[in-house]
Structure 1
């Protein structure tokens, strides 16, 4: 349907050889079509609940039939292997099913974050060359924007009753009982365009493939949730378009029921109620959501003893927040470090290594050790491996690394060096192989000729009992080049003055690392995924006219 089908990117994007060495001829690398994990669950547990959305429950057998029906409808419309399907939807059954329907016919799933504006979604449609759009009825303004900017989109399907296209439910009902032909796929055939968040520019489409994602599923089950079975249940507390979608795909591979929150607005009390009701055993979060869950009064109202794995990723968790969460939830925290380009597979810190108390055996600040089958290397600017404890860029290789950015050779050239994917994160590795993230390379600033890594100072700020959240950025200064500015959110009922916090930090960090200004806000800006991003904090500072240092601080 799409005029320009996606080509295999593995060889061209990252310089891999198209043919194997050693004289062994191989015409293809046939792999399982990822939609087969749903068929496996339906075969083994057809009458068990696979999906929960409020009062609505769907069995594995019902979901398999519905996905087959939608896949048959898409094929009838001429959508086939390599075509891109853009999906603009909040979390719901139909959105989740659309992933498997796309995979089944060999198409590429292109989910957006539902909070993105019509113009932002239109850009994703154009950049991906989408052939068809599936849009939730709650977002009618996104459809004309997409159709205006992306001429490749020739049809729209609505989730719910809408004027812009036929209802997904009606199309499924009309084809129930039809069996869609499962597309044959090879290892490097694309299945998912995972758009980056665009914190340093316009979003880029990371190409995830059937073979790569099969490894990711296996790796997640091995390293993050060992022992997971169909008796488990998983709560979704983040958009399925990104990391949470990967996590739920993994759940399907073990027939674990997926439980949705009833509203897109995060409600900790409702989350804990569902944990108790469905005996939830795992959930995927980001540090800010984990913090909200652990510190909300409702954590003591509902029974959460069923939880075995509260997995957090997207950013390192500050130590003080870790301690509070461990005391509230027990030793159930699992941290992993991994960008979308490596689909979460870089390091893991399992529950046994999360300790609620500091001590000589606790590795403070680590994001864990290398994931199974993955190699991490800390490199200098020349691409050379540095010594233990020496700071450099965190680079990674292994089967979880994506094929490359779609239609973006310049970005691919920057992202890879000698076969290593460059994460853009700075850090070091100790002699035992534990990795420590210092921060994004773009977060570091230079004050008086010395490098300052804000995360180190942020950890110290959060040891003050009045501070709930903090972000520190480097801003221009005519005398020192750059100086630090801290933006803090205080705990409810707490009070703190700028000079009091500066005095608190005195002796805890070197003077050149001390923030020169401290601002107290009611809240820090967060991305659509609940993460605090320095780009958004900087934009907020600029809007408030706080990027210029007052004369009184410039000679400090």
Structure 2
């Protein structure tokens, strides 16, 4: 069949909500409050200006900015012109953003003021024939905020049209752009609303505490579709007290976090100063959450935690663990808690090294299939072929399922190391270490050794006011682990390096150890 099949533009969900709830609150940012009508009209202004600058259906626009109402305006304006958006984290360096620009080849860029070096780096790569629009204070005639009114003329998109280039976080090599299409994001929006936040409606309020360039941006889509307001904290960085004050003042009902953010919020003393009883769904994803941290968050916030497992390539849609399922008993021999059951419309399989599906209880690579899986990697056929070998999408995570279909992640293929011929998955060791009351954070990684091939090194952060030392941690672990799994070294740092999305970055830890002159012990 050669006929084009029309798709639903992601931005149509904003138009529908604006027609249904024109004067209801859409976005809150400090003293700024936009209604759905205002946001819809603002997106049209961006759409009209991009079209005037020559941006057409199928082009790419790079979006580099802090969370703000204008960021959301730009996101939907880019989709409305028929272009694919390539969002980048503001914590990336100009060189990092230039690498991303070289992959997605944007014709135009929208950036927060103060990002001149990032814009120049991308311009050096692509030329940016469509120029630059600016978000934030100090922007003038090139400002998103100064665009004139425009009539609604959304671009028609078709099945397979690119909507979002979702870049990997860059924690394990060169970034790759997963291709997310309009119809796929429509499925993801529906699935997020149904599986993560049942009953989501215009009576809900969402708090955006993570960058909208990544998972929090996907979380935004169902809020827009259902008419739930989004509250954006003011100021740079994460300030727990400001977050909890907003939860109380705006009666926030849901928010998306990553484990490091959730841990920080739940452990901050300010959590007890403000009323957070309005919360119904505190969603965390992006990395495994250690059992001790999860249990503390549950004790502080109550049964509101919702976990999902997924990658950017599957738009987060692999498994879900609802509030009622937290605390589910672990199978014998598995030290980690479950990350849930397959999402509606998705399928999960555990594959062995030969590509055959393994039965319940066997450990292998976690693979997925379903409408949330990306259409491959942009301009990277080799990576696409590897990711879809045998027709499944390969996550790179290792785990098992129980007899009821619940998934348990035991590690990542890239984290595993081989010491003296034995495979070691650090996740189990990290769980046991962080259960010690004197350990705040820990990362266990394999480092080269002339005799054993690799040895385990535990880089850890001490809890405030604790005097825990290396000997105490060795004694703590000794009865809990096989000898070959015990780390040979314990190195205490003040803080562990994290990515722009809050993940502990083991590659950076390894580089910093080597740069500091680390040598293998005898």
Q: Does the CA contact (< 8 Å) of 2:25 and 2:35 recur in 1? A: yes
Distance 1:426 1:193 in 2: 26
Cross-structure match for 1:194: 166
Q: Does the CA contact (< 8 Å) of 1:91 and 1:264 recur in 2? A: no
Query: Which residue of the other structure, out of 228, 241, 248, is the alignment partner of 2:220?
Result: 248
Cross-structure match for 2:92: 116
Are 1:350 and 2:326 matched, yes or no? no
Distance 2:41 2:128 in 1: 29
Query: Which residue of the other structure, out of 41, 57, 76, is the alignment partner of 2:33?
Result: 57
- Seen in structure 2, the aligned counterparts of structure 1 residues 308 and 26 have a Cα distance that, compared at 3 Å, is farther
What's the secondary structure of 1:253's corresponding residue?
helix
Distance 1:252 1:334 in 2: 20
Distance 1:390 1:451 in 2: 15
Query: Which residue of the other structure, out of 91, 99, 112, is the alignment partner of 2:75?
Result: 99
Q: What stretches of structure 1 of length at least 5 have no aligned partner? A: 1-24, 552-556
Q: Does the CA contact (< 8 Å) of 1:394 and 1:422 recur in 2? A: yes
Distance 2:281 2:388 in 1: 33
Q: Extract structure 1 runs of 4+ deviating beyond 6 A.
A: 356-360
Q: After TM superposition, give the deviation of residue 151 of structure 1 in Å.
A: 2.4
Distance 2:129 2:466 in 1: 52
Cross-structure match for 1:143: 119
Aligned 1:111-190 pairs, distance under 5 A? 111-160=87-136, 166-171=142-147, 174=148, 176=149, 178-190=150-162
Query: Which residue of the other structure, out of 477, 481, 484, is the alignment partner of 1:512?
Result: 484
Query: Which residue of the other structure, out of 483, 486, 489, is the alignment partner of 2:458?
Result: 486
Could you report, residue by residue, the CA deviation over 1:478-516 in whole angstroms, capped at 9, with x for unpaired residues?
A: 222211000111111011111111011111111110011
Q: Does the CA contact (< 8 Å) of 1:286 and 1:313 recur in 2? A: yes
Are 1:550 and 2:516 matched, yes or no? no
- Seen in structure 2, the aligned counterparts of structure 1 residues 359 and 409 have a Cα distance that, compared at 3 Å, is closer
Query: Which residue of the other structure, out of 413, 417, 422, is the alignment partner of 2:385?
Result: 413
Q: After TM superposition, give the deviation of residue 94 of structure 1 in Å.
A: 1.2
Q: Does the CA contact (< 8 Å) of 1:326 and 1:355 recur in 2? A: no
TM-score normalised to the size of structure 1? 0.91
Distance 2:206 2:447 in 1: 42
Cross-structure match for 2:273: 301
Q: Does the CA contact (< 8 Å) of 1:323 and 1:357 recur in 2? A: no
Aligned 1:379-458 pairs, distance under 5 A? 379-458=351-430
Q: Does the CA contact (< 8 Å) of 2:328 and 2:337 recur in 1? A: no
Moved more, 33-42 or 303-312: 33-42
Q: After TM superposition, give the deviation of residue 271 of structure 1 in Å.
A: 0.2
What's the secondary structure of 1:322's corresponding residue?
helix
What's the secondary structure of 1:507's corresponding residue?
helix
Query: Which residue of the other structure, out of 219, 233, 239, is the alignment partner of 2:211?
Result: 239
Distance 1:458 1:29 in 2: 49
Are 1:273 and 2:249 matched, yes or no? no
Distance 2:124 2:75 in 1: 25
Q: What stretches of structure 2 of length at least 5 have no aligned partner? A: none
What's the secondary structure of 2:134's corresponding residue?
strand
Could you report, residue by residue, the CA deviation over 1:262-315 in whole angstroms, capped at 9, with x for unpaired residues?
A: 122100010000000000000000001000111100010000000001100001
Distance 1:164 1:87 in 2: 18
Note the aligned Cα RMSD (angstroms).
Answer: 1.8
Q: Does the CA contact (< 8 Å) of 1:334 and 1:350 recur in 2? A: yes
Distance 1:256 1:138 in 2: 31
Are 1:313 and 2:285 matched, yes or no? yes
